[in-house]
Amino acid sequence: MADRESATEASSRVQEVAANMQQAAATRKRISGSKAEAVARRYFAAIDAHELDAAVALWAQGGREHVRGRVDVLAPEGVRAFVGELLEAIPDLRMHVLSTTSEGDRCGVHWRMTGTFAGPGSLDGVAPTGSPLDMEGLDVLTVRDGLIQSNDAFTDSMTVARQIGLLPPRGSTAEQGMTRAFNAKTRATAGLAAGAAELVAEGVWLVQGRPGRCNVYLLEDEGGATLFDAGARTMTRAVASAGAKLGGIRRIVLGHGHTDHRGTAPALGAPVLCHPDEVIDAEGSGGFRYWPAGLAGLPTPLRQLHGLLHRYAWDGGPVKISGTVSEGDEVAGFEVVELPGHAPGQIGLWRESDRLALSSDCFYTLDMWGRDCEPRLPERIYNFDTEQARASLRKLAALEPAAAWPGHAKPVTGDVRGQLERAAGAA
């Protein structure tokens, strides 16, 4: 009995000590938060009083002022320039603290700023308009040792732009016209770059875009999508939108690392994989290291055109490779098949259940002018090894696909094996 009572007393003491520690921590947090709020209020009071030196003096050396969408500067000079610009542009500026919330060394300040954009200073390069201003925002200040270490600020920039006349009033005829013009531009540029995603097989979506009718395949994969080939840079928005509708792009698998097949990858923010032999080109020149200098061998008009397309339309630039895949690996229900020749580490994806092949540039179904044609080997000047490319096309044909989708243009269906073997045998 005595042992049980002793154990109960010990447990109570432990709980009491823990409660005291929690209370002490909460007290320290309140004190720290109170100090942070006091500094924050002094800072906003200094700005309200147009005391620039006093406001800057509350900052730690090297403290970061980051107003989202406007400035990202360091104290003291960056803060001096930013706050000074506000006071020069809005000579009757008033800063009202509406509420504060503190926790530890941080204080959130909900504020309202009023005044007149009378100058003589400009505001973000915009000349004074004489317009009245009334805006709200939120600053989250981090304070240590009585000085501001950082400030993460969020403001209503759209409202300010409307108030100073940089944007038309909300709901106005001018705004409606601007919106229509913007939507027309969006539709026009989207039409030139890529169409909407199309379901071409079970769990396989295609986005095809110009120039070059590049094919990007989105494979449904565990609540998201795996990309096979990344197409042209001009397709980025269309591919990102298609991926979002499938739950987000989880990873990108490059069929090879040429400029017109890595184009969207740098902008999509997903891990990128390829064959080990393609890493050098995906992270480097995009194929230019083994193509003829100046794309010699193409007719003059094509040589000039392709030079421009590689630079301004197809290539999104080098992309960091986070992993590799090789023959026999599994990707979203497909098996990796090595198809080198056009590129040293080119791969395709094969699904046995419906005999579907996604073959990147193992073959083309368009000519160099972008016109539809029968299946053919890729252009010799763009190949790493044309005879190896020929052997890979025969390897693909031997799988007897029901449908073979290339890296550009239309698929091969019907007698797929016969068509691919004839293409492989052509001179």
Q: What is the pTM of this model?
A: 0.68
- Three-state SS at 331: strand
| 156 and 193 both lie in a single domain | no
Question: Would you say residue 16 lies in a domain?
Answer: no
Question: Would you say residue 174 lies in a domain?
Answer: no
| 160 and 208 both lie in a single domain | no
Q: Tell me the β-bridge partners of 126.
A: 123
| 228 and 268 both lie in a single domain | yes
| 201 and 141 both lie in a single domain | no
| 193 and 107 both lie in a single domain | no
| 115 and 219 both lie in a single domain | no
Question: Would you say residue 244 lies in a domain?
Answer: yes
pLDDT digits (tens, 9 = 90+) for 258-312: 999 999 999 999 999 999 999 999 999 999 999 999 999 888 888 899 999 999 8
Question: Would you say residue 15 lies in a domain?
Answer: no
Question: Would you say residue 300 lies in a domain?
Answer: yes
Q: Which two tokens stand for residue 144?
A: 């240590």
CATH number of the structural domain spanning residue 77? 3.10.450.50
Among 110, 133, 167, where does a domain finish? 167
Query: Nearest 5°: phi and psi at 158?
Result: -65, -40
DSSP state of 292: P
| 202 and 344 both lie in a single domain | yes
**d(C-alpha 257, C-alpha 194), whole Å:** 20
Domain count for the chain, please give it: 2
User: Please, are residues 195 and 238 in contact by the beta-carbon 8 Å criterion?
Assistant: yes
| 54 and 193 both lie in a single domain | no
**d(C-alpha 395, C-alpha 397), whole Å:** 5
pLDDT digits (tens, 9 = 90+) for 112-171: 999 999 999 998 889 999 999 999 999 999 999 999 999 999 998 888 888 988 888 888
| 260 and 327 both lie in a single domain | yes
Measured from the Cβ of residue 348, the count of other Cβ atoms closer than 10 Å reads 28
Among 137, 167, 197, where does a domain finish? 167
**d(C-alpha 349, C-alpha 227), whole Å:** 12
Question: Would you say residue 120 lies in a domain?
Answer: yes
Among 115, 137, 167, where does a domain finish? 167
Residues spanned by the domain of 397 = 187-425
What tens-digit pLDDT sequence spans the chain (427 residues)? 555 556 566 566 656 655 555 554 444 445 455 899 999 999 999 999 999 999 999 999 999 999 998 899 999 999 999 999 999 999 999 999 999 999 999 999 999 999 999 999 998 889 999 999 999 999 999 999 999 999 999 998 888 888 988 888 888 888 788 778 877 766 655 545 556 899 999 999 999 998 899 999 999 998 899 999 999 999 999 999 999 999 999 999 999 999 999 999 999 999 999 999 999 999 999 999 999 999 998 888 888 999 999 998 999 999 999 999 999 999 999 999 999 999 999 999 999 999 999 999 999 999 988 899 999 999 999 999 999 999 999 999 999 999 999 999 999 999 999 999 999 987 5
Question: Would you say residue 296 lies in a domain?
Answer: yes
CATH number of the structural domain spanning residue 325? 3.60.15.10
| 219 and 272 both lie in a single domain | yes
| 273 and 328 both lie in a single domain | yes
Q: Tell me the β-bridge partners of 262.
A: none
| 125 and 47 both lie in a single domain | yes
**d(C-alpha 216, C-alpha 85), whole Å:** 48
Question: Would you say residue 161 lies in a domain?
Answer: yes
